A and B are shown apart, each in its own frame.
Chain A
């Protein structure tokens, strides 16, 4: 069986001089949740954008279902990969339904606009993330947490099998962070593969079965969250002392607590 997404010795540079990340290799299978940690400026967003072909790798290759991504166009990639940027700046107050419908673009002809079937799919995606009551509201007049759910519904309407979420919980309050993480876990259980970045080691413990740590100028550390996220790696990555504890003796859930 071929991997959904396979990355081999990927490097990226904006200016051709300094590599943002270097020789990154990994692969993603069905139901995988990969949580990428690392300090600001480590290249998390850049790596995620390269996976979605928003940016092109300087070196290395990405295979999507065994096909070299360099040979695919945006439309073909969008049918398999959904991406939500770290920050979305809304301009026009489209209704929630209109926004979610835009997710259908990759499945529509060049000149067509969404029809009844697309509306059904959008409706289902909106219900899937639990915001059917907002369907007619302008998406500029809802809370940050709700807006993130709208964007998730939008990429779900795209019917991808891989989701790239760049800090899906940034700018959200504590409750909304947990709610978004729950949605992500649920989607992974349905077979979607998710690559997300986060600033919280705990998010990796809660949702991910794979964790990676990026740091500029160093190779990416990747593996099971319990193995990758240790007191040692947190100190070398972020320069802070943390204590990693098991939540209770029965489960394997771990938590990461800063010491100072």
Chain B
């Protein structure tokens, strides 16, 4: 899987509006490390380093990040229908971005607002769930649904008051997700929180098995369940909020890639998390290639992830063991 990922990354580098041959791509990449003469023009170099490399890296990061948080959340909440957006990150981030598009227009502030409101939504979810004395994952999910519904309604409100010729389309496109505008600068901002979250989740991945047995069972096995839950939620939220702020809301990946992975490697989170990581990166890279290449204009990612993924998933469901209990 890792090999196919590397191969696809290189193939993706020379796919695109601006035609580049594999030969040119390799030379341009190599010139960073060894001195080569410049037989190519500066535009080609700019396309590679300023447009395609950041965009593809973002696809890798967002795909792997959403998938690994999805897999962790499904284990934590003991539910295979859970996605990384369950605690309201996406709705919160969408609201933040919509408000910023409406009022501020500066793309950087839009991303910042998305990030901040994404985190805020999860914090609100968490505090609503604290109203009950017992920590209970079901209450947490319910609070997430409440917060999600509230922010979704607020997004609609913003859309309703937005200028239908100017800001409304911008909001709608933002919400549909795209990697088209990712620059090196933005990438350098999100890469740290995302990789940190991913690394921590990978380090504790075996413990997610224990948490998924149930809270009582996990406590009896000597696990500090509250702390472990908090770590998983913080990591996943950091990853998802960062992902949303550079790519907009991309659904489906974080829900379905863990399922694909479970079909391939089984339910053990020790294998499941690395598998989700690779498969998620591969999937979003491929989807983003389709988004760039299929028609002359960009297709929003949120549309493609589902249009390509849904039939494929339905097919797999018929074919193989699903990897969760039916009882």
Contact = CB atoms under 8 A, between A and B. Distances in A.
A98 interface: yes
Contacts of A103: 221
Q: How large is the interface on A (under 10, 10 to 19, 20 to 34, 35 or more residues)?
A: 35 or more
A105 B325 contact: no
Most B CB within 10 A of own CB, among A79, A90, A102, A114: A102
Contacts of B222: 74-79, 105-106, 158
A91 B221 contact: no
Contacts of B209: 94, 98, 102
B27 interface: no
Interface of A: 49, 52-54, 73-79, 81-85, 88-95, 98-99, 102-103, 105-106, 110-114, 140, 155, 158, 164
Where chain B touches its partner, the secondary structure class is loop
A122 B223 CA distance: 18
11 contacts: A54-B216, A54-B219, A54-B220, A75-B222, A84-B220, A89-B78, A91-B212, A94-B209, A94-B268, A102-B213, A112-B206
B204 A106 contact: no
A218 B51 CA distance: 75
Contacts of A99: 213
B214 A111 contact: no
B207 interface: yes
A113 B270 contact: yes
Nearest to A111: B203
B216 A92 contact: no
A92 B219 contact: no
B118 interface: no
Contacts of B262: 92
B206 A114 contact: yes
Interface string B75-97: 10011100000000000000000
A164 B220 CA distance: 10
A83 B219 CA distance: 9
Given A54-B219, A79-B222, A164-B220, 10 more contacts: A52-B219, A75-B222, A81-B220, A85-B216, A89-B78, A92-B324, A94-B268, A105-B207, A105-B223, A158-B222
